[in-house]
Amino acid sequence: MLNKIMLIGNLGADPQMDYTPSGKAVTKFRMAVSRRRRNRDTGEMDSETQWFSIVAWESLAETCQKYLHKGSKVYIEGRIGSRKYTDKDGIERTVWDVTATDMEMLEPRAASQGGESGSYGDEMSVDEVPF
C-alpha cells in the first residue's frame, strides 16, 4: 500500500511548535496550494486554492519552526490522513491532515530570513572570481 502526497505552496501563518508530554517536538502550520486553469466558458484564467493542515515531528518539526514563516514557499512530502470531530454546532466534520516526512524550502535563503530577495550571502562579483 502507498499513501503519499506531494505539495508545493505557501504558508498561511507562522508555524507553531509545541512538545508532547514525552518531549517530542511537533510543529503545525497551514499551507495554501493554488492552481491556475483556463475557464472553458469565458477563456479567462481562474485560480483555485486549497488549504492543507501540515504536521511535522521531531527534527523536521524543529527545522520547520526555525526556517519557515508566513508566506514561505515550500515543498512538502508526506502522508495524508483523516480525523473526525464534532464542531460547536454538533455537526460531525472530517479534517484531512498531512504528516510531513520531507520539506524543501523553495526560496532564496535571504528571502526566507527576511532579507532582500535576490540577495545571496555567498554571491561574488565578476571581479572577485578567482579564474
Give the count of alpha carbons within 13 A of 44, CB side only. 3
Query: Angle at Cα 60 formed by Cα 57 and Cα 66, nearest 5°?
Result: 115
Tens-digit pLDDT profile for the chain (131 aa)? Answer: 999 999 999 999 999 999 999 999 999 999 999 988 888 888 888 889 999 999 999 999 999 999 999 999 999 999 999 999 999 999 999 988 999 999 999 987 655 555 443 333 333 344 444 43
Residues of the chain by 3-state class (helix, strand, coil), percent to 5: 15, 50, 35
Q: What is the DSSP string of 12-29?
A: SS--EEEE-TT--EEEEE
Predicted TM-score of the model (pTM): 0.73
What type of residue sits at position 89?
Answer: D
CA-CA distance, 7 to 103, in Å (whole number)? 10
The full set of domains in the chain, from first to last, is 5-38+45-100 (2.40.50.140)
